[in-house]
A and B are shown apart, each in its own frame.
Chain A
């Protein structure tokens, strides 16, 4: 393609080529059938044009079944084949590899707020190291948004009240558009910025320019104490200790939880979040529904920190060492210092999307 007038966006993630290939496959099929139909129509239009008034087309009876079967079954098999290919690509695009580093994203009208695993935060910008698989765990403070980076060929709706995730492994350093793809109100088209893919060294350097703060798990742990969650859930102490008033959170994440009422669910991010803001919705079997709600007392980003902390207490995903969180739990909150931008602010060195 000529550079000034691209037909395909830059392919800057590990899955981009696969998506493009799938598209190319469909394009070839589409071009074939469209051309076939167009050529046939033109040829018939010219060749069988009416030559005299009152002329009639062929009234011969024809057997249609063989042709009908041909042009039903061939497209059917093609479509089913493409369906399988499409599903395959879909799972490649959506299933995060185990080594993906988790970032936390909060969408709100009309900005993206990102928390790096190191605790650094940024707004309407995302810095990631090249070659590293990263997973965005995302939620929204208000309406539905959609996290979309065309160069990575990934998109995922960001819903209020639950977590969704998107992952990518950038393969090229550079600057790529980050869009909100789900219409979210007045400044929908301005809700976005750039993803900066940096080399590993540049990323470290970039992280160092911001004030270092506690990791997201550590701020979660601090919050856990400040909100006195630990008085009932006791996770700071010995993982084996038996809590009296509430279930232990050690090893909770990813585990099957039996609920009062007989149902069993998997403890995922959304469940942990719901248990904080609406604790009585799903009470663990054998415990009283005595936990008060924390709705309105914690922001969506603090919720993310709490969820990240509970995740770090072990479970299906690799956990942060318990000692680490315990040690940092006592540190004063540093969240304000680590902010890298105010809401609405466009970070230095970045052009607004719309000039």
Chain B
């Protein structure tokens, strides 16, 4: 099959989302099964792309409208994008099933459309090779996220969504100002060409422009001063949506940030922007871990834990070394799996028992043993116990941090990890040794999904080398800008 058919990864969710009103007019019951079918097809397409990219070792460049890159918009599906498109598709498939079980608030057909478009937005953000197109996909992701956060229509949800909107609005305006500066200085929007021209930009323009772009993306990537929306939104959003936020929406923001940072590495003031980002990331980790300790709501607690892990990924990305990026990508994969598992588990408890406070988790080991087991494995992994997957990526991030000369950051992150261990162990203790209760029946399919994720965690934990190899390739895809430029068939324009 021709590589251009990779455009299906964007076209399929889009056309399906537009098709849902028609389906709803025919039969409202068919909407959710249709959602499941579409996400399954998306898994097939993404799997095909993954196989193509990793067997041939060459990225797939989709040129929209047969225009060569600086003229038209290209999708760049390299090693990183192929890996994450697959992760997005698989997790969306799981969450689609979870949504089918747990979404009871009307109107379900609109929920299904927004679900597909959230998946589309994250996919597009990861695949695109054009900086303004990145903005458009970022807005698609953000606006669907606003709507889905407020979907339950409670006061808390609306407030969280409003918070998110205001921060997101400021962020996207700043991102656009950054685009205006960069475009004014270079005359192009294509990422590969920007990377070529980055060295010639006036240093003031480049510094301010890059800082504004990073600032704009920091809202999506949940970095410290701009992530106040995240815990509220994670807590108030419907359970499946929280899974998606944590598993891949954040990752899309982080990836976009990493991509833009490394493309602009010829810019004179690059290292000062990196240093700023390291500080922001370290603060994110520390503040989030200490806030998590105070929480009484488990969903919110895990949300803070997720933010702190994201901060760790941003720390790894901001180191500016090959090993840092590789470790960051590895951690992204592990974090996606672990947080998907944890949020599915916690969401399932919330759905069955009607709440997610710590009291609801008392004696969960007797009430819902399977879910409790899954949450336990997820928690142990999140803490970074050896032989679970996060241990391997965390240790690599810390080593890369020491190698890059940020020992203080590493020390702070290690300290924060102790705090993390405290609250996760408190949760595990409550689940297995506290309270008592009747057995509640658990869904077999959801149980199978959770066990699958548990198996992935354990397999990566015991044999980290295979995924580490993939992560290294994906990391090189971000880090090696020279290869990125040579892979994009740029047309010579202008003088």
Task: State yes or no: do A and B come from one complex.
Answer: no
A-binding residues in B (CB < 8 A): none
